[in-house]
Amino acid sequence: MARDVLLTFNAGSSTIKLGLFAVEHGAAVAFGQGEVDLRHTPLKLSLKEGDRALDVDLKAPATDDLHHVIDELLGWQAKHFAHDTLVAVAHRIVHGGDRFVEAALVDDDTLAGIEALAPLAPLHQPQGLRLIRAVKHLRPDLPQSASFDTAFHRSQSDAVRHFALPREMFDQGIKRYGFHGLSYKFIASRLATKHPKLAAGRVVVAHLGSGASLCGLHGGASRDTSMSFSTLDGIPMATRPGALDPGVLLYLLQSRGMSTDDLQDLLYHRSGLLGLSGLSADSRELVASSAPEARQALEVFSLRVAREVAAIATTLGGLDALVFTAGIGEHQAGIRAAIVAHLGWLGAALDAGANDAHAERIDAACSRIALMVVHTDEEQVIADEACRLLFHTQSQDTA
């Protein structure tokens, strides 16, 4: 049966995630997902379609404009789903600044606005731009939309968004924006559908992946988050340091003679779990390692996450639930246990068996805080927002 297909692109700093959705009565229904890792040569599309998984070798090189890669992906989609019609493409864009407070149709003005924000997200924003431009070059007939990670956090107060810098800098755009908003929007929607009493309360969501942050929700709206002006802030990540005394940066620049390019490489590529352990940026490898440096890296990570939970609970005025999501949050039971162990003073108590089984509820009966593991789905949010924009109808709930 022929379908109208919506394709989503979720560009990371070195990967492209794809989502395949059938548009049914204006709603986006997922039927496939894939990923291309641009660091691997030759390139390969890893695709899951229902219960079936397949790897597709790509011939295209990863050029600066990605035209060849996108051309091959669009060609493969047209051939593999020969009876379907690709009707639109939707993108995740990391930074929307103060301009983009909701998803937007991509036109020349939107593209210029996204490009103007590239200095605020130098690793991610250019990737999203490359994908939009590649699709526009290859298929100018296809409508495109952009969903912004920062938009979800616009509900935060100015008191939360301000740095203690001269006031005019806030008006110039130097403020806390927050990221991973598409993931938090999905979690907020799922909680509202499945656990409405918890959703109405004070919830901290820990999006723990290679990029990681936390968000405080009250009534499903963002009230605080650990990432701020850039994707470097907050908790340690795979290769990023999280919160860092700015005096360290001044010292490296002034006393160690480090260039700004070297500093950027240090902060984005050589810090975090990789820097702490000296072994790997992958938490799975660190968990499996007996090296003391690996254990220390995980200890630092767990402590910093727990500290951020407590800090955001202060903004919320209490804590009713802690939700773990994303790669580490959903799959690393030992790391979840280590984080919760630091939060016993808040009344958090873990059910070890439920945690090891990756159950949705992992709190013990005596816990004063609900502890949950919830799968996130940024692609679904991107697709839902695209449907509302492009097909002028309310798409299915993201839960």
pLDDT per position as a tens digit, 52-88: 888 888 887 777 777 888 888 888 887 878 778 899 9
Note the pLDDT of residue 362. 98
Note the pLDDT of residue 121. 85
Q: Which residue has the higher pLDDT, 191 or 390?
A: 191
pLDDT per position as a tens digit, 176-223: 999 999 999 999 999 999 999 999 999 999 999 999 999 999 999 999
Least confident of 50-54, 226-230, 256-260, 326-330: 50-54
Note the pLDDT of residue 13. 66
Q: Is the pLDDT score of 394 beyond 50?
A: no
Which of 289, 269, 181 lies closest to 226, judged by CA? 181
Q: Is the pLDDT score of 141 beyond 70?
A: yes
List % helix, strand, coil for the chain (3-state, nearest 5): 40, 20, 35
Superfamily of domain 196-373: ATPase, nucleotide binding domain (3.30.420.40)
Note the pLDDT of residue 316. 98
Note the pLDDT of residue 372. 98
Note the pLDDT of residue 398. 52
Q: What percentage of the chain exceeds 70 in pLDDT?
A: 97
pLDDT per position as a tens digit, 263-300: 999 999 999 999 999 999 999 999 999 999 999 999 99
Q: What percentage of the chain exceeds 90 in pLDDT?
A: 77
Note the pLDDT of residue 395. 45
- Cα–Cα distance measured from residue 95 to residue 99, given in angstroms and rounded to the nearest whole number: 10
Report the amino acid identity of residue 350.
Answer: L
Q: What is the mean pLDDT of residues 315-325?
A: 98
**63 Cβ contact partners less than 8 Å away, ≥ 6 residues apart:** 69
- Cα–Cα distance measured from residue 4 to residue 88, given in angstroms and rounded to the nearest whole number: 9
Q: Where are the domains of the chain?
A: 4-148, 196-373
Task: Determine the Cα angle at 74 with ends 73 and 76, to 5°.
Answer: 65
Which of 71, 86, 90, 66 lies closest to 15, judged by CA? 66
Confirm if 294 and 279 have CB atoms less than 8 A apart. Answer: yes
> Does the bond joining 140 to the residue before it have cis omega, within 30 degrees of 0?
no
- Asked whether this chain's domains 4-148 and 196-373 adopt the same fold, the reply is yes
Helices (H), the chain: 67-80, 108-116, 125-138, 158-161, 167-171, 181-194, 196-199, 246-254, 260-269, 272-277, 283-288, 292-316, 326-331, 333-341, 352-356, 378-390
pLDDT band at 42 (very low <50, low <70, confident <90, very high): confident
Q: Which tokens in the block code for residue 256?
A: 């160690």
Residues labelled as active-site residues: 149
Note the pLDDT of residue 12. 74
Give 11's strand partners.
Answer: 16
Return the CATH number of the domain spanning residue range 4-148. 3.30.420.40
Confirm if 83 and 1 have CB atoms less than 8 A apart. Answer: yes
Helices 67-80 and 125-138 cross at an angle (nearest 10°) of: 60
Confirm if 358 and 331 have CB atoms less than 8 A apart. Answer: yes
Least confident of 42-46, 85-89, 215-219, 370-374: 42-46
Least confident of 49-53, 327-331, 366-370: 49-53
Q: What is the pTM of this model?
A: 0.92
Which of 367, 324, 315, 375 lies closest to 343, judged by CA? 367
pLDDT per position as a tens digit, 160-175: 999 999 999 999 999 9
